[in-house]
């Protein structure tokens, strides 16, 4: 049986309440596909029956599982390529000059999912700043505790490492772990994972030189986008850099940013 309107609307309300992510009509297929494994594990006849059971007999753990299933995004190594190239060829050299006194950088990978983005950044820094004696800390956050546990382990299947990771980097920065691959310890120790809801407080995070907030703003309404961008700006150093996804922009959302074009990548800088 297809997902009923009542079940879909309840899931949409739950996800919006917990994460501020908006699931619009037409996303029924997404909700159903993401919740099928949970419904099967619970022994429910179908997704609608599973959702109705949770709706009528509220259970916090199950509600969290539903939200995490709907808010976990697929990711890959060096996703989209160009932003990481812009980071390596322009941003890192600029940081070398502006941070020459401290010889340290802090980067925030927001909505880091299963860890491919922060580890991609760490690999790039290992071959540049770290090799020259600099210190780097990457703080990786996500709403889902489940994906954070996977990210902390740093262990990926052959299929997962095949998604965007060049073979020379795999050989150099990973070690075989049975049928899987594990990120080497020197890369893992550069990244600190923690749970964070982007609609909550960032106060405990401190300030960053670079923020990667990619492919997540598209899920929020305008007011939430504006709120998040304002608080990200306060978490970014005055001369810092913000990377958004290819379909995301500050234009018409928050005018306190300047756009800097690096190749075909738009990087955003706080207005002073």
Provide the pLDDT for residue 267: 96
Q: What is the pLDDT of residue 2?
A: 73
Residue 228's pLDDT is 96
- What is the structure's pLDDT at 227? 95
CA dihedral over 195, 198, 202, 208, signed as positive or negative = positive
Q: Give CA–CA dist 261/31, Å, rounded.
A: 36
> What is the pLDDT, as a whole number, of residue 37?
87
Q: Which residues are catalytic?
A: 34, 142
pLDDT at res. 1: 56
C-alpha span between 190 and 105 (Å, rounded)? 11
**Residue 123: how many other CB atoms lie within 10 Å:** 23
Q: For the chain, which domains are there?
A: 5-71 (1.10.155.10), 82-270 (3.40.50.150)
How far apart are alpha carbons 9 and 11 in whole angstroms? Answer: 5
Per-residue pLDDT of the chain (272 residues; tens, 9 = 90+): 578 989 999 999 998 888 888 888 888 888 888 899 898 898 988 899 999 998 888 888 889 888 888 876 768 898 888 999 999 999 999 999 999 999 999 999 999 999 999 999 999 999 889 989 999 999 999 988 889 999 999 999 999 999 899 999 999 999 999 999 999 999 999 999 999 999 899 999 999 999 999 999 988 999 999 999 999 999 999 999 999 998 899 999 999 999 999 988 999 999 97
Run of H or E including 139: strand 135-142
Tokens of 81: 């390529």
pLDDT on residue 69: 85
Output the pLDDT for position 97.
Answer: 95
Predicted pLDDT of residue 75: 82
Predicted pLDDT of residue 154: 96
pLDDT score of 197: 92
**Separation CA 50–CA 217 (nearest Å):** 29
Helices (H) and strands (E) in the chain, counts: 12, 10
pTM, rounded to two decimals: 0.85
Burial of 107 (0-12, 13-18, 19+ CB in 10 A): buried
The answer to whether 198 and 143 have CB atoms below 8 angstroms apart is: yes
């Amino acid at each position: 049986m297809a997902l009923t309107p009542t079940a879909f609307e309840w899931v949409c309300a739950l996800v919006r309440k917990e994460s501020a992510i908006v699931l619009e009509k037409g996303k029924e297929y997404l909700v159903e596909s993401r919740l099928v494994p949970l419904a099967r594990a619970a022994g429910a006849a179908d997704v609608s029956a599973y959702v109705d059971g949770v709706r009528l007999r509220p259970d916090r753990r199950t509600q969290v599982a539903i939200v995490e299933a709907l808010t976990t995004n697929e990711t890959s190594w060096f996703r989209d390529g160009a932003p990481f190239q812009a980071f390596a060829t322009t941003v890192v050299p600029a940081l070398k000059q502006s941070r020459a006194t401290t010889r340290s950088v802090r980067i925030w990978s927001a909505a880091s999912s299963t860890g491919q983005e922060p580890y991609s950044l760490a690999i790039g820094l290992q071959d540049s700043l770290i090799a020259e004696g600099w210190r780097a800390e990457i703080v990786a956050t996500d709403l889902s505790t489940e994906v954070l546990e996977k990210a902390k382990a740093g262990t990926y299947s052959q299929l997962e490492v095949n998604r965007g990771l060049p073979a020379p980097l795999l050989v150099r920065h990973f070690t075989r772990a049975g049928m899987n691959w594990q990120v080497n310890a020197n890369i893992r120790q550069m990244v600190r994972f923690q749970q964070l809801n982007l609609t909550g407080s960032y106060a405990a995070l401190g300030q960053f030189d670079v923020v990667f907030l990619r492919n997540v703003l598209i899920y929020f309404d305008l007011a939430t986008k504006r709120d998040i961008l304002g608080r990200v700006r306060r978490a970014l150093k005055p001369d810092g850099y913000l990377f958004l996804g290819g379909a995301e922009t500050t234009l018409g959302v928050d005018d306190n940013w300047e756009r800097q074009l690096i190749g075909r990548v738009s990087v955003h800088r706080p207005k002073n």
